[in-house]
Structure 1
Amino acid sequence: MSDHTAVIQDVVPVIDITDLRSDDVARRRAVGKEIDGACREIGFFQITGHGLPDELVAGVYDTAKEFFAQPMATKREVAQPNPKTVRGYTAVGEQAFAYNEDTSAPGDLHEKFDVGPHVVSDDPYFSIENAGPHFIPNQWPSSPAGMQQAWESYFEAADDLCRLIMRGFALGLDLPEDFFADKIDKDISMLRAIHYPHQEEPPAPGQMRAGAHTDYGSLTIVRPEVAPGGLQVFTQDGDWVDVPVIPGALVVNIGDLMAQWTNDEWISTRHRVANPPRDVVADTERMSIVFFHQPNYDAVIEPLPTCVAAGEEPRYAPTTSGDHLTMKFEKTHQKA
């Protein structure tokens, strides 16, 4: 396995998804096929034409930056209560993504703040008795003002964008365009701001800003930032490749459940967030806004018949979105 790194934009293609909103099914299908190609080759792509307004992104970014700048005691007032309840604040070193791969590693060099869906409903589907932790209330800090409104607005817009991309997934896989619709209409997605502080001291051996891992769900949307030490993907050639930051574009990658749905015809690719070079004199602080799209907790994920060749057995047993997500959360939380 090589640890060589490079910047190769062609590895992570840029796809204009404007035509997914077209009235012409042929144009929609053409975008779906571009997505299909990217998911088979690397499982990552960048999107333009996504329609997320700059002010929505800025609302999350600015309030997150203000939140993370507060004293630790203030941030701890909305600390994540336990590994299964991913709501609120997690400090630097309290999570290690490498646990996702059943490997031991020091805690990751980032802090984060998480929120889930903001659902107000008497429907038993959303109750704790049925849904477990997936629809519990979010924790909101008393400061900064306007954080809740900014994050809820972004969450709704990002969720709509994911539903659009999932229609593109269906078209790319030659499925009915609405195939995934009833599996993601009560999704258990999460919005996360990840703050990577400036590194005054060298990391411990093997310690990363975010250790190598694959994501859990259907897809992830990332708004990255131009700063030293960023997102890298592990190519099929065995190289770690820097994902370039393209102004106005969002990074998209598929997760483990999408790979399972396609019986590994689509790739859930390992990725990490690298440490900044030690010779960088400038401030190396950075922050990413990440939306993890996750299907309904009771959605059954099993290989699509169209992705299992005649005479072959599926590679995966059926699972549910909720059970799979809870298992992953427990693995990635840093053990005491």
Structure 2
Amino acid sequence: MQPAPQVDATDQGEATDQGIPVIDVGPFIRGEAGTGAVVRAIETACRTTGFFLVTGHGVSPERTMRLYNLARAFFDLPEDYKRSHGRGTGLNGGVAFSPIADEALAATKGIKTPGDYKESLNFGLRLNGDTWPDQPEGIESAFRDYFSEMESLAGHLRRIFCQAIGLEPDYFEPAFENHLSALRVINYPEQELDPLPGQLRAGVHTDYGFMTILRSEASSGGLQVQTRDGRWLDAPSIDGAYVVNIADAFMRWSNDEWVSTPHRVANPPRNRKGSSRRQSIPFFVNPSKETVISCLEPFCTDGKQAKYEPITYGDYIELKTRQAFGR
């Protein structure tokens, strides 16, 4: 991955070559000069691309790499071992394993495709799963430690959003007291054979919840973001930075003023040189099941009408999940 660029607090939101801004959130987190520039840069990104990268976030690199390495070790285990774990739903806070082609994300956009060419491990404090595997040793604690890091970063970003919108700093916090956030590690294996027609590593989709915080890596066949005019941009991979994007529930909360942008993970080119294996770690920031998603007051003023009827997050996510897994 590339070194992270140094962005001056007065020049926040400087776009990468791909048009996705890189924003140093350190001044906001530490309460230093430049907080206003951070807030303005993030608001602009949320209204235009729906995607931005953050540096200065304070996430532990040691906890990040520990999770990365242990998850990779799990994915390298025999297929029959992997499929014998994480397939049940009887344990709250357990692990869920999704094998290759189990999920077709494009179905949430009404597009029929073969299952996505990826496998994943999934965990949430309040989500049902299965007993954790005994191999590799320490994988459960690695998930829980990294989950805690992401909870902290998500809290900082929510407070930035509040300031950008004109809400009290802790406005969203009641909605996240019993949050349904999910941590996923995704393995995109080498593609030794041609994918099926229409099959991608991850089909075009938007994320379901409040926002997503992604730890990604450089590879051929990576994350692509769709522009407003329909072009696909390769998202940059910058060492130590996180990709953040607005998700559907928050777009609905903002009356469609903050955008949840379609994205996908492309297949590697067939004439590639070297490895195309890829591993990413998204953290899906989701409110509680009972949270009502309805137009926030600042987005329903001056004669603006709410575009959507209120809906609980539980009902909303159930619909989206059924679509993705064809249930």
- Provide the TM-score with structure 1 as the length reference: 0.88
Contact 1:15 1:34 in 2 (8 A): yes
Which residue number corresponds to residue 8 of structure 2? none
After TM superposition, give the deviation of residue 334 of structure 1 in Å.
4.7
Q: For residues 161-172 of structure 1, what are the structure 2 equivalents within 5 Å?
A: 161-172=153-164
Contact 1:93 1:334 in 2 (8 A): no
Contact 1:95 1:332 in 2 (8 A): yes
Going from structure 1 to structure 2, the CA distance change for 1:67 and 1:96 (only over 3 Å counts) comes to same
Q: For residues 80-99 of structure 1, what are the structure 2 equivalents within 5 Å?
A: 80-81=87-88, 87-99=95-107
1:45 to 27, 49, 52: 52
1:113 to 115, 121, 129: 121
RMSD of aligned Cα (Å): 1.9
For 1:162 and 1:146, locate their aligned partners in 2 and report how far apart those are by CA, in whole Å: 24
For 2:289 and 2:317, locate their aligned partners in 1 and report how far apart those are by CA, in whole Å: 9
For 1:213 and 1:137, locate their aligned partners in 2 and report how far apart those are by CA, in whole Å: 24
Which piece of structure 1 moves more, 170-179 or 211-220?
Answer: 170-179
Greater RCO (CA < 8 Å, at least 6 residues apart): 1
After TM superposition, give the deviation of residue 138 of structure 1 in Å.
5.3
Question: Equivalent residue of 2:302, what SS?
Answer: coil
For 1:32 and 1:179, locate their aligned partners in 2 and report how far apart those are by CA, in whole Å: 16
Q: Deviations over 1:66-125 (max 9, x none)?
A: 00011111111223347xx994111111100001112211110000110111xxxxxxxx
For 1:36 and 1:245, locate their aligned partners in 2 and report how far apart those are by CA, in whole Å: 22
Question: Equivalent residue of 1:9, what SS?
Answer: coil
Q: How many residues align?
A: 310
Q: Deviations over 1:15-53 (max 9, x none)?
A: 0001222336x7434322211100000100000001111
Question: Equivalent residue of 1:226, what SS?
Answer: coil
5+ residue gaps, structure 1: 1-6, 118-133
Q: For residues 290-301 of structure 1, what are the structure 2 equivalents within 5 Å?
A: 290-301=282-293
1:281 maps to 2:273: yes
For 1:243 and 1:281, locate their aligned partners in 2 and report how far apart those are by CA, in whole Å: 20
Which residue number corresponds to residue 20 of structure 1? 28
For 1:285 and 1:10, locate their aligned partners in 2 and report how far apart those are by CA, in whole Å: 22
- Provide the TM-score with structure 2 as the length reference: 0.90
Contact 1:59 1:150 in 2 (8 A): yes
For 2:307 and 2:131, locate their aligned partners in 1 and report how far apart those are by CA, in whole Å: 39
For 1:259 and 1:138, locate their aligned partners in 2 and report how far apart those are by CA, in whole Å: 32
5+ residue gaps, structure 2: 1-14
Question: Which amino acid in structure 2 is aligned with residue 215 of structure 1?
Answer: D
